[in-house]
Amino acid sequence: MVAMKTKGQEDEAPEERVPHLPWMRHPVDIDSFSGCPVTSLPRLDPRLAEALQRMGIESFFPVQVSTWLETIGPGAFQRDICINSPTGSGKTLAYALPIVQMLSTRKVRCLRALVVLPTRDLALQVKEVFDVIAPVVGLTVASAVGQSSIADEISNLIKKSKQELYPSLDDEYVEMEPQTKVDILVATPGRLMDHINMTKGFSLEHLQYLVVDETDRMLREAYQSWLPTVIQFTRPTNQDHFRHDTAGRTLLHPLTTIRRSGVERGFKGKCYPRLAKIVCSATLTQDPSKLSQLELHHPLLLNSGKKRYRIPTKLESYKLICTSNIKPLCLIVLLQELRGEKCLVFTKSVDDSHRLSTLLGFFDDLPFKFSEFSSLQRESTRRKTLAAFKEGKIDVLIGSDIMARGIHIDGLRYVINYEMPQYVKTYIHRAGRTARAG
């Protein structure tokens, strides 16, 4: 059993072998950049600077500065960006800020940026960041995560045509096609595919930015083949405007995405607009077969240090060795010592989390409040539990690795690995729930 808490000591994973892909061998070192005050970031829109300061952000972290300098200004987004940085280092704002800045001058509203994450909780958390900065420059953000009915999501995403609103009007004088109501969409793969396949008026024709967050997990699991589908419908082409069935009959797809040919300004000989991609993870894969799915364009890797994996620099680890028969008692004693502090307890499976929670429930008068956080629970129950934990009404959350990716909890100081994970990647994501940016 290992407990981890915030302190001031750096701990790094062992050195890894040389990557197969040439572009991964010479990354930009994020740690070579210094943080800078919000007011000193070059070319930052004053409206965005003011919004960030209202959030309590006074300075940027190195990953945010390095990403900004590679995406804003001369040569902006001429290469796809891959960010490999520890959990809690500030990756969400690192990609959200340049996208919002680049779209702030748009004249016509249409879907131009798509951010895809593996789970609903992560997607809603990322949307909260966009919600703070996008509206101040006139951009609209929406989510498609299955939190509400698909009909409700469609009403937030698509503006009905005047023909649908006023069917008695003469077709010659009204707008016939429904239009997108948002500039930026944060989605989970399943609900994104629902809209691609079924929502009239949902189009990726004008998409300029695609963000794949938690990339290693997104590439490991197929998620209804969402990635090849998105790339297919955003690939510039003058052919295959219509699909055909096995009998040769033309099929009209509800998603009409025919990217117009032309020359992209500042990018010689390429179709306009080129879809710029940002992929990021704390444990970015080096597997060429997986990365090839992204169809990256002259990718540039931003890496935190020379190691492949890193845990937060302000993290300190402790080890407690005991026999299995007294392990629950040792956990209780440890949690009693940490009384009043927020703590996450990780087990290796959902069943083990439930078993441990049930066992702790047999003890009377524990000086801390705990709750199970499990995929066996309803989404509404998990949401209420997480909210209670963030508000301090619950001291300890017990769960499996559903809690290990991306979820940010202010003031979380302690993470306990009641059962150690099998893989280094899993440990990195668990450890990253504490010692986070901000």
**Cα distance between residue 56 and residue 40, in whole Å:** 16
What is the length of the chain?
A: 438
What interhelical angle do 120-133 and 91-103 show, nearest 10? Answer: 50
Neighbours of 235 (CB within 10 A): 13
User: Using the 8-state DSSP alphabet, how is residue 287 labeled?
Assistant: -
- The whole-angstrom separation of Cα 420 and Cα 195 is 39
Q: Which two tokens stand for residue 215?
A: 């990339």
CB atoms within 10 A of CB 368: 16
Which residue stretches of the chain have pLDDT < 70? 1-18, 75, 161-177, 236-273, 305-313, 402-407, 432-433, 435-438
pLDDT at residue 269, rounded to an integer: 44
Q: Domains of the chain: which residue ranges? A: 17-303, 315-431
Per-residue model confidence as pLDDT tens digits over 102-139: 999 998 999 999 999 998 888 999 999 999 999 999 99
Give the fold, CATH level 3, of 315-431.
Answer: Rossmann fold (3.40.50)
Cα 409 from Cα 415, distance rounded (Å): 12
> What is the phi/psi pair of residue 168, to 5°?
-80, -15
Bridge partners of 187?
116, 144
Tens of pLDDT, residues 167-225: 555 555 445 567 889 999 999 999 999 999 999 999 999 999 999 999 988 998 888 89
E-strand ranges in 352-399 read 370-373, 396-399
Whole-number pLDDT of residue 170: 53
Longest dimension (CA), the chain: 80
Residue 261, pLDDT score: 40
Residue 89's pLDDT is what?
82
Question: How far apart are alpha carbons 304 and 91 in whole angstroms?
Answer: 11
The predicted pLDDT at position 333 comes to 93
> What b/e readout covers 127-159, taking b as 16+ CB neighbours within 10 angstroms?
bebbebbbebbebbbbbbbbbeeeeebbeebbb
Residue with tokens 């010592």: 337
Which residue is listed with tokens 């099929």? 251
- DSSP state at residue 18: P
Q: Do domains 17-303 and 315-431 have the same CATH topology?
A: yes
If we measure between CA atoms, which residue out of 117, 110, 182 comes closest to residue 146?
117
Residue pair 151/115 in contact (Cβ under 8 Å)? The answer is no
| Lookup: tokens for 61 | 């972290």
Pair of tokens at residue 309: 């994996």
What CATH architecture applies to the domain 17-303?
3-Layer(aba) Sandwich (3.40)
> How does strand 2-6 pair with strand 414-417?
antiparallel
Structure confidence at residue 250 (pLDDT): 44
